[in-house]
Amino acid sequence: MPLKVGTNALFINYINCQAGGGEESMKKRGFALVEILVVVAILTILMAILLPAFSGVRGAARRTQCASNLRQLGEAIQLYATDNERYPRGLDPADKYTPQIWPPEYQQTMADTPLLPVVMDPYVKNKSLWECPSDYGFDVCDTTGIPLPTRPSCYEKYSMSYFYRTELTLLNLADEHLSRPVETNVLEDGSGDWHGTGVTSFWSSKRYNILYADGHVKNVDRDGFNAAWSVPLR
C-alpha cells in the first residue's frame, strides 16, 4: 500500500532526527575522550612534580632512622670501651673480606679478627640497629676494583650496613687516646678514601651519616665525610 504524504514526511523526519542524534552523540564522545586525555596529562604533570617531593620525604625518614641507629650503636660502643678500656676489636666487611687493601703487616690481623657485630653482641640486643634503611648493597670495595658483592644488601650478607674506623682496632685505642674525638669518625654509612683512592659506591647518595667518637651523629656532604676520615687519631 503506498504511504500517505503525511506518513512519508513523518518517516523522513524520524530518519533525519536519528542521523542528527548520532552525529551529536559522536561529538559528545569525542569531547569526552579529549577531556580524559586532558585529565591524564594533568595527572602526569602532578605526578612528575610530587614524586620527587615524596621521594625526598622518604629519604629524610631513612636518614633519620639511620642516625638513630648510629646513635644507639655509639652508646653500646661507649659501654664496651668503658668495660674493656679500648674500642671494640672488630672489623667491617671491607676490612674483613678484602684485607689486601691494607699493608701486608696488617693482613693477618684482618683474617683473625671477627666482624664488629660479633664482638658487640653482648652490648647490642637489637640486631636491626646494624641495618641502614638505605642499604641496597654494592659490588666492589671502593675504587680498588676488588669484588665485595653485598647483594641484596650489606646487612643481609654481613649482618652490618655500617663501616668502622678499623684503625681504632689496630692501634688498641681508647677515648683518652684520641686527639680530636669530636671530629673522629667511628661508624658511618659509607667506606672511606683511606681504603683506596676514592669511593665509587655508596647507598646514601651524596650525604652520609657519621657517628663521632664523642657520641654525636651528623649528616655531612662528601667534603665532611672525607674530612672525618682524614682526622688523625692521636
pLDDT grade for 55, boundaries at 50, 70 and 90: low
Give the containing element (helix H, strand E) for 212.
strand 207-212
User: Does the pLDDT value for residue 46 go beyond 90?
Assistant: no
User: Does the pLDDT value for residue 7 go beyond 70?
Assistant: no
67 within domain boundaries: yes
CA atoms within 13 A on the CB side of 138: 24
User: Does the pLDDT value for residue 180 go beyond 60?
Assistant: yes
16 within domain boundaries: no
Average pLDDT over the chain reads: 78
Which of 42-51, 89-98, 202-211 has the lowest average pLDDT? 202-211
Euclidean distance between CA atoms 36 and 146, whole angstroms? 54
End-to-end CA distance of the chain, in Å? 118
Q: Which of 154, 117, 149 is nearest to 136 (CA)?
A: 154
Give the chain's domain count. Answer: 1
169 within domain boundaries: yes
194 within domain boundaries: yes
- Tell me what pLDDT residue 12 has: 45
pLDDT grade for 26, boundaries at 50, 70 and 90: low
8 within domain boundaries: no
- Tell me what pLDDT residue 196 has: 37
- Tell me what pLDDT residue 136 has: 75
26 within domain boundaries: no
More confident residue, 230 or 21: 230
Range of the domain at 225: 36-230
Percent of residues, the chain, with pLDDT higher than 90: 30
Euclidean distance between CA atoms 203 and 189, whole angstroms? 8
- Tell me what pLDDT residue 14 has: 47
Q: How many residues does the chain have?
A: 234
- Tell me what pLDDT residue 45 has: 83
- Tell me what pLDDT residue 213 has: 95
Q: How does pLDDT run across 94-123, given as a tens digit for each residue?
A: 888 888 888 888 888 888 899 999 999 999
Euclidean distance between CA atoms 209 and 133, whole angstroms? 12
More confident residue, 137 or 65: 65
Rounded to an integer, the average pLDDT of 124-151 is 75
11 within domain boundaries: no
81 within domain boundaries: yes
Q: How does pLDDT run across 62-75, given as a tens digit for each residue?
A: 888 999 999 999 99
